[in-house]
Structure 1
């Protein structure tokens, strides 16, 4: 099982780049997505979305959406369901940063020496990103446009979505293209991925990167006791749970590490441990 004691392998170099997911990691948009899904489900007399289904939606693109449709059994087509979701996108204009996020991004981008590079790698579309973050300069000002990769990027396809590693490797490539004169290329093992989804953790591990998993309290409750499987990047081995939306699940350990030291679970990005990852602050 996962351990409460940090286990950093001594051979790992200091982190030189951080790659962030967006929804449910930097901003509270996963809760807004849940509101949108439930608005539609309730309109057709269906129950609220359970975390056992919600977990399959996170970061997985079309495959997760198809599983939602199969569970929901709505009297409308998939295209109509998607249209009803898109029609509610204005709700994302009320999104806000999650605890600790503005401070973490600001510190990484302005107070690290040597400089830590930042990228975003999200399954969201570029248009959706704009709606969700245009009012949040604490998010957008710290990540340059050339270091943002989205699900509709020309170099992405549904077959390359998380849990495949492509989006993180693409983000690393963008970081390396942005390096200044004399800067050494960043290697995968020098990258730290921040994710809230199970599929995202697996994608980061497959990319050969270290991972910080910061799950929603509902997902944490669903997967209690199976944290090690997630942290090792074995999402296919995570058995379906019984947790429901709004269920309690945040009690107990706030931080856990995988046995190999490559992945950490924490319930918030507040008080991030820079020293543990070899990140030096000015």
Structure 2
């Protein structure tokens, strides 16, 4: 499907749920740079998008195991994660909102549309990535991180649990009964898109430019329940009643 194709929508949107990494902030590029440092230290790499596309949106331990296996690294996933945190900790100050992200968050807030952040990043990483960006992240009505105890072990994306927890938190906070089919899920990675579809929402898919040629059959995956955008700036808000 051409990336600028627009699908029609016949449902009223009452809430919006967002991924974070690579969708709202530029952490996918930071992840690539830091992982390449680790791989180079072991005489491996560089990381390419045909590999990276299978890492996006996965819980940390799952992504770590995939990297270790793909590049035959002499590390356990725990060792890899410690090294990853050490290298990444020097980069989180470079996190910045991607085009259209902050503007969309502020717009939805001004329209009193409930918004939830549902990120596979654990709480520690989330806080370190966003502590200098609170003028945007403090606007979310609910924040769910990948290590939230309400998400059963092994049920990270592409399972829908994180979106279910986010919507439950929105409903409990506002005394509402919003259904998954009343929601937009915003994602950049394939696991998150699959999770959003399994959740029952309409998915706005904003892939990294480097990932586009590796997305596969997007028409089959979305099955009429989403659209692909080049940027959040391209979202036609009026089309969704936003």
Q: TM-score normalised to the size of structure 1?
A: 0.80
Map of 2:31 onto structure 1: 33
Which of 141, 146, 150 is matched with 1:151 structurally?
A: 146
* CA-CA distance at 1:138 after TM superposition: 3.5
Determine the structure 2 residue equivalent to 1:51: 49
1:76 corresponds in structure 2 to 75
**Does the 8 Å contact 1:151/1:157 carry over to 2?**
no
2:62 paired with 1:63: yes
The equivalent residue for 1:246 is: none
Greater shift after overlay, 73-82 or 28-37?
73-82
Report what 2:124 is aligned to. 127
Alignment pair present for 1:230 and 2:226 = no
From the two aligned structures, give the one with the greater helix fraction: 2
Tell me the residue number matched to 2:156.
161
CA deviation string 1:101-150 (max 9, x = no partner): 1110001001x2xx210000011011111100000123212113xx1111
Query: 2-side partners of 1:213 and 1:138: how far apart?
Result: 24
Q: Secondary structure at the match of 1:159?
A: coil
> 2 CA distance for matches of 1:34 and 1:176?
36
In 2: Cα distance, 1:164 partner to 1:43 partner: 34
Unaligned runs of 5+ in 2: none
- Of 110, 113, 117, which aligns to 1:116? 113
- SS, match of residue 8 in structure 1: coil
Q: Does 1:101 align with 2:101?
A: yes
Q: Give the count of matched residue pairs.
A: 240
Moved more, 61-70 or 118-127: 61-70
**Alignment deviations for residues 45-83 of structure 1 (CA, whole Å, 9 cap, x no partner):** 112111122111111223332121111112333322221
Task: Give 3-state SS (helix, strand or coil) of 1:160's partner.
Answer: coil
Equivalents in 2 of 1:51, 1:271: separation in Å? 23
Residues 1:278 and 2:241 are matched in the alignment = yes
Taking a change above 3 Å as real, the CA distance of residues 33 and 67 of structure 1, as seen in their structure-2 partners, is same
Q: TM-score, normalised by structure 2?
A: 0.93
> Shift in Å at residue 5 of structure 1?
5.1
> What's the RMSD between the two structures over aligned residues?
1.7
Q: Can you give the 5+ residue segments of structure 1 that lack an aligned partner in the other structure? A: 233-259
Contact 1:53 1:67 in 2 (8 A): no
- Tell me which structure has the larger Cα radius of gyration: 1
**What are the Cα deviations for residues 142-193 of structure 1, in whole angstroms up to 9, with x where unaligned?**
113xx1111110111342101101100110000001116xxx4111111100
Q: Is the 8 A contact 1:213 1:231 kept in 2?
A: no
**Partner-residue secondary structure (3-state), 1:57:** coil
Displaced runs of 4 or more, over 4 A: 1-5
Q: Is the 8 A contact 2:187 2:193 kept in 1?
A: yes
Distance in 2 of aligned mates of 1:92 and 1:134: 9
* Cα gap change, 1:76 to 1:6, in 2 (>3 Å): closer
Tell me if structure 1 keeps the 8 A contact 2:116–2:140: yes
Q: 2:201 aligns with which of 196, 205, 209?
A: 209
Query: C-alpha distance in 2, partners of 1:40/1:7?
Result: 41
